[in-house]
Structure 1
Amino acid sequence: MKRRVVVTGTGVVSPLGNDIETLWDNIKKGKSGIKRLESDEFKDINTKIAGYIDDFDSEKYLEAKEIKRYDLFTQYGYAAAMQALEQSKVNLDKVDKDRVGIYIGSGAGGLQTLLDNHKTMLEKGAKRVSPFLIPMAINNMVSGLVAIKTGFRGPSFAVVSACATSNHAIGEAYFNIAHGYSDAILAGGAEATITPLYFAGFSKMRAMSTKNDTPERASRPFDLDRDGFIMSEGAGVLFLEEYEHAKKRGATILGEIIGYGSTTDAYHITAPDYQGAAKAMKLAIERAEIQPEDVDYINAHGTSTPAGDISETKAIKEAFGESAYDLKVSSTKSMAGHLFGAAGAVEAIITLKSMAESIFPPTINLENPDPECDLDYVENKAVEGNINLALSNGFGFGGHNAVIAFKKG
């Protein structure tokens, strides 16, 4: 018999706040976390705006001498994991650490570390490269550091599937617990990719917005005037736990994961195919043993790219049929920007808060709706209403699709 899996802790580092309540308060207010980049390093790049973080205090989580040994993405991920454990109130001295795992992924890993050391090698020679280069740069170091600090000895690895990374991490953790292999798993993603190199690459793809004069209005999913996504950074981590395990220790249940769908487009390295996304939603619904019309809300992938938003709208219509017009859909990337490998986890946390407080978060900057995007996107302002069942979508370059189905706690 499949075991129930609940969420008992969450943690976040984001452009809208470095704790859950600050993030959620800004989401409810429809506040944008996008700002202009002032560094001259970006002067020759078309996009000069991002959801960067300028108020993260790493010394709240790590000793000063440790900080220089970990890339920023690792620091973000570790901070989010510690927040999730703190909220869960799990007793590390009493839990069976052989049955607690860590699935925290990243799309790019320690990108800044790699770039810094490459520059050092070119300018000063190979002997000046840091001995910490490899452990700082590899994608799995958040999971590794969290394991070292907590003593968790269950399954531990880093999912890498671009923008679907943390949805895959959460979904695979859900399966692991549901099938009885673990009692609890920290799952999510972390990212710190705001660098001139990544900006140059995405700029050449014409994938990012160039609305540099109006940063707060640049991310506008489903709007006819959208022109690309906004790069952001941060981390999101959820503490997933088997229901009886959580109940036995008196944990507060924030919500329940009841389904997970994962598919691949097998179509194109960057262009989306709506059928793969639709199938992932259908699988999440089927495995949750619910009907499409039972779903109240979808936290959309909604990146604000011309092709992506149309494709996701088509996918929702394919998965839900006529009931697609009865549910509410919103993209919180309109406020937080796109956190790549951390996006799904941050959006899962927002979805859980939405359900708990009966508030549909808005899609801001939706002023001129695209005729091809004709669903209810909760335009510009949050709306009150009961949310019993919700989906959170995550789709990544390479055609990777991952959808999580949540039930109100």
Structure 2
Amino acid sequence: MYIEGSQPRIAVIGMGCWYPGARDLRQLWENILSRRRQFRESPDRRLPLADYYDPDPTVPDKTYGKRMAVIEGFEFDWASKRIPKTVVETADIAHWVALEVAIAALENSGYTRANVPGERTGVILGNSLTGEQTRSNNMRLRWPFIQRVIHAAAKAKGLPLQVIDELTIAMQEYYKSVFSPFTEDTLSGNLSNTIAGRICNFFNFHGGGYTVDGACSSSLIAVATAANALNNGDLDLALAGGVDISLDTFELVGFAKTGALTSKDMTVYDRKASGFIPGEGAGFVVLKRLEDARADNDYIYAVLNGWGISSDGKGGLTAPSREGQAKALRRAYNRAGYSLNNVDFIEGHGTGTPVGDRVELEGIALAMGANSETPSRSCGITSFKSLVGHTKAAAGIGGFIKAVMAVNRRVIPPLAGCNEPNEVFDKAAHCLYPVLQGEVRQTTETLRAGVLDFGLKG
């Protein structure tokens, strides 16, 4: 039921996830409560450190980061889903991780492929670069350039033409053997914008499916976009989430050259914060208007009351702004109908970068201090990234799921990797405190939580 002009609240009726060390909600919640961190040295099959690591951050084409958080054991059961093996082999794994997690979320909400309504159900997915498999597959089509390089180098060394030709033929065979052949399914299987469409295709949804890209805030933008679609009556049921399987040289060397990675431990909201450890994963939530969820007797994990988006305008493209962040928070709580000062804890962005953490905390404090209706009180802050690193396009939805589980269980969850809280907690952000292990609180009262994430420029 949708009443035009109303401002319905949004119910979270289902969730699904696959993050490092957690292939389901139970494992994720156990890791959250125990502060079980998932960082390990980069496995060679993802990033061979012998080829790409150098402790000197100025060395070209190298990364000084040695660790990451990876998902393990994922196997897509294409046969049971009646998806041709050839299609699966030519598509980026991000497609199949997203589909698997979307299925889990819908089943968690009580729906199956057979009974889920399709006419006004849509999928909004956060993703930035498809996945690392797509970028590696693109190398197959670069063979003509590589062939010219081989010819030029071999001729410069004086090799006979026959030897050059034989060498080229042999190298082409070796080179292309590691890549999937290009077929009629390759293009659609390696585009970011078809991941959501694949989920719609699998379930026969007709409400629309598309990908949104807001960099690291992509999946929270997906949630806000889905909430808007439910709010204005375009959808009656929405899957919103994100997937990011991109731990390859393009991102890791790129992040290293911005100085965002840490060569040490990841310490979020800490005085010694030095950057983040990259991660990967996927998460989805199933959303419905609250009155519809109640009418359908759905289990309601939590209720989304307000959401807001902003950008920083002028300034550095990668430098966050506390004013821009505060603007998004004010917009969200104006919609919610209550103040940020009434929130019990905030699931923060928390990358562990010195500038990012400080600006984030100052931005939250600025938004809290801007509302004079309610006196300031102490609000806890925690971060999903402190457990699994920065999962980029899948980071926001991971934090959202964590916050939903926490308010559902009436627990203020702990932060990991903060040993010496940032000095900003004693200054501009004195209204906030990091939720350390000894400050985890369970209550019988209803909890309110906020969730935020940064992207590039907002």
Cα distance per residue 1:205-246 (max 9 Å; x no partner): 1111112xxxxxx22111111111111111011000122332
Q: How does 1:321-340 map to 2 (within 5 A)?
A: 321=369, 326-340=378-392
Change (3 A) 1:233 1:86: same
Is 2:18 the partner of 1:18? no
Query: Would the aligned equivalents of 2:9 and 2:290 in 1 still touch at CA under 8 Å?
Result: yes
Counterpart for residue 143 of structure 1: 196
1:379 to 436, 440, 446: 436
Query: Would the aligned equivalents of 2:242 and 2:393 in 1 still touch at CA under 8 Å?
Result: yes
Query: Would the aligned equivalents of 1:258 and 1:288 in 2 still touch at CA under 8 Å?
Result: yes
2:449 to 390, 398, 405: 390
Q: Any unmatched runs of 5+ in structure 2? A: 1-5, 55-62, 147-171, 427-431
**Bigger strand share:** 1
Moved more, 386-395 or 34-43: 34-43
Q: Distance in 2 between matches of 1:133 and 1:42?
A: 28
Query: Would the aligned equivalents of 2:237 and 2:286 in 1 still touch at CA under 8 Å?
Result: yes
For the residue of structure 2 that corresponds to 1:394, the secondary structure is coil
Q: Distance in 1 between matches of 2:37 and 2:117?
A: 41
Root-mean-square deviation over aligned CA pairs: 2.2
Query: Would the aligned equivalents of 2:126 and 2:220 in 1 still touch at CA under 8 Å?
Result: no
Query: Would the aligned equivalents of 2:89 and 2:180 in 1 still touch at CA under 8 Å?
Result: no
Change (3 A) 1:115 1:52: same
TM-score (norm 2): 0.81
Q: 1:202 Cα shift?
A: 0.8
2:289 to 228, 242, 247: 242
Q: 1:312 Cα shift?
A: 0.5
For the residue of structure 2 that corresponds to 1:261, the secondary structure is coil
Cα distance per residue 1:310-331 (max 9 Å; x no partner): 0001001101129665111111
Moved more, 266-275 or 375-384: 375-384
For the residue of structure 1 that corresponds to 2:309, the secondary structure is strand
Q: Which amino acid in structure 2 is aligned with residue 300 of structure 1?
A: G
- Please say which structure displays the higher CA radius of gyration: 2
Counterpart for residue 269 of structure 1: 317
Q: 1:43 Cα shift?
A: 3.1
Cα distance per residue 1:327-354 (max 9 Å; x no partner): 1111121111111111111110000111
Is 2:167 the partner of 1:114? no
Counterpart for residue 312 of structure 1: 360
2:206 to 133, 145, 153: 153
Counterpart for residue 404 of structure 2: 352
Q: Distance in 1 between matches of 2:437 and 2:419?
A: 8
Q: Distance in 1 between matches of 2:282 and 2:274?
A: 25
Q: Distance in 2 between matches of 1:222 and 1:243?
A: 35
Is 2:238 the partner of 1:185? yes
Identity %: 27
Q: Distance in 2 between matches of 1:307 and 1:355?
A: 29
Q: 1:64 Cα shift?
A: 7.5
Q: Which amino acid in structure 1 is aligned with residue 310 of structure 2?
A: T
Q: Distance in 2 between matches of 1:103 and 1:180?
A: 15
Counterpart for residue 90 of structure 1: 111
Cα distance per residue 1:272-298 (max 9 Å; x no partner): 011111111111111000122211110
Q: Distance in 2 between matches of 1:209 and 1:380?
A: 23
Q: Distance in 2 between matches of 1:204 and 1:173?
A: 35
Counterpart for residue 406 of structure 1: none
Q: Distance in 2 between matches of 1:135 and 1:93?
A: 25
Q: Distance in 2 between matches of 1:46 and 1:133?
A: 34
For the residue of structure 2 that corresponds to 1:98, the secondary structure is coil
Moved more, 40-49 or 177-186: 40-49
Q: Which amino acid in structure 1 is aligned with residue 278 of structure 2?
A: M
Query: Would the aligned equivalents of 1:14 and 1:234 in 2 still touch at CA under 8 Å?
Result: yes
Moved more, 67-76 or 379-388: 379-388
Q: Any unmatched runs of 5+ in structure 1? A: 212-217, 401-409
Is 2:42 the partner of 1:32? no
Q: Distance in 2 between matches of 1:370 and 1:87?
A: 38
Q: Distance in 2 between matches of 1:336 and 1:113?
A: 23
Q: Which amino acid in structure 2 is aligned with residue 365 of structure 1?
A: G
Change (3 A) 1:26 1:128: closer
Aligned length, in residue pairs: 393
For the residue of structure 2 that corresponds to 1:209, the secondary structure is coil
Q: Which amino acid in structure 2 is aligned with residue 357 of structure 1?
A: R
Moved more, 18-27 or 248-257: 248-257
Moved more, 363-372 or 240-249: 240-249
For the residue of structure 2 that corresponds to 1:313, the secondary structure is helix
Counterpart for residue 407 of structure 1: none
Q: Which amino acid in structure 2 is aligned with residue 326 of structure 1?
A: S
Change (3 A) 1:48 1:151: same
Moved more, 290-299 or 62-71: 62-71
Q: Distance in 2 between matches of 1:26 and 1:382?
A: 17
Q: Distance in 1 between matches of 2:410 and 2:219?
A: 24
Change (3 A) 1:367 1:179: same
For the residue of structure 2 that corresponds to 1:102, the secondary structure is strand
2:302 to 241, 255, 269: 255
Q: 1:112 Cα shift?
A: 2.2
Q: Which amino acid in structure 2 is aligned with residue 4 of structure 1?
A: R
Q: Distance in 2 between matches of 1:64 and 1:351?
A: 37
Query: Would the aligned equivalents of 1:76 and 1:235 in 2 still touch at CA under 8 Å?
Result: yes
Query: Would the aligned equivalents of 2:90 and 2:181 in 1 still touch at CA under 8 Å?
Result: no
Cα distance per residue 1:71-125 (max 9 Å; x no partner): 1221221111111100011255555412100001202213322223314532549
Cα distance per residue 1:115-144 (max 9 Å; x no partner): 233145325499986234422221122211
Moved more, 34-43 or 343-352: 34-43
Q: 1:70 Cα shift?
A: 2.6
